[in-house]
Every structure is written in structure tokens, then in C-alpha cells.
Amino acid sequence: MAKVRDVMTTNPDVLDTYSTLSKAAKIMKAGDFGVVPVVKDDAIVGVVTDRDIIVRGIAGGLGLEDPVDSIMTTDVTTVGPDDDVSEVRQLMIDGALRRVPVVDGERLIGIVSLGDLAEHGSGDDVLTEVSKAAPNN
């Protein structure tokens, strides 16, 4: 059975709590993804999504130079490097998650995405299932 460490992306792009909404958006554009982990002293403290920038940030009256800690989600679902890929796949479907941070203790060590699962043969129809489960489709 494959483990998360076998499929995850290591050294993901991250933000610190003082990073701006503009920096978050630029990282997302450059990497062509919609979520970036937020870390403090290598520990994950939240995530920022493209939707957070628009809905919580811009529509909420914030500017592009405001810090991401004002809009980040702090209740973050994470997985460990030794978790089974099949369990993570189901977690992503059940939670409508496209990317899940990988932690060792509290330290962020990677991220696993739908693309990672598909690339390693564990993503068959997972995108379809996640999309069905996602709110606001």
C-alpha cells in the first residue's frame, strides 16, 4: 500500500502570517494552484485559498497589502507522511479537498494534491468525486 510520503510534493510554496494577499495571489498564479499553507516557525498555522482572497479579503473590504493571517483558515485538515494514500484519497473526497498539507508533528513537510494522486495511479475519478462533494458547485 502506497504511503503519502511516496506521492506528496515536498518543499511546497508557503506564506508566513505577515505575507500579503498580493503575495499569496502571485504564488498561486505562478504555481497554478489555489491554496497555500501558512507557516510560523515551520509549523502550519493555516491555509489561504484563492476563494479566501476574494470572499474574505477583497469582498470583505481588505486590500492586497493586508496580511494573510486576517483571512486564513486556521482549522486545517492535515495528514502524516506514513498515512495510506487510499485513506487520504477518501479524506479528500469526504472533505471536498484538492490539496492537503503533510505534517510531521506540527512541521509542514509537504503537500498532497489531486494531481499527485493521479500521477501515482491513486487518483482515478477522485477529481470527479471531490467536485461532487464540494459546496457551491
CA 124 to chain centroid, in Å, comes to: 20
pLDDT band of 11, cuts 50, 70, 90: very high
Residue-wise pLDDT tens digits, 62-97: 999 999 999 999 999 999 999 999 999 999 989 889
The domain locations on the chain are 4-133
The yes-or-no verdict on residue 45 having pLDDT over 70 is: yes
Residue-wise pLDDT tens digits, 107-122: 999 999 988 888 877 5
- pLDDT for 114 equals 87
- pLDDT for 137 equals 41
Asked if residue 100 lies in contact with residue 92, where contact means CB atoms within 8 angstroms, the answer is yes
Average pLDDT, the chain: 89
* Architecture of the CATH domain 4-133: Roll (3.10)
Distance, CA of 128 to CA of 102 (rounded, Å): 23
Q: Output the pTM of the full model.
A: 0.84
| DSSP one-letter code for 69 | G
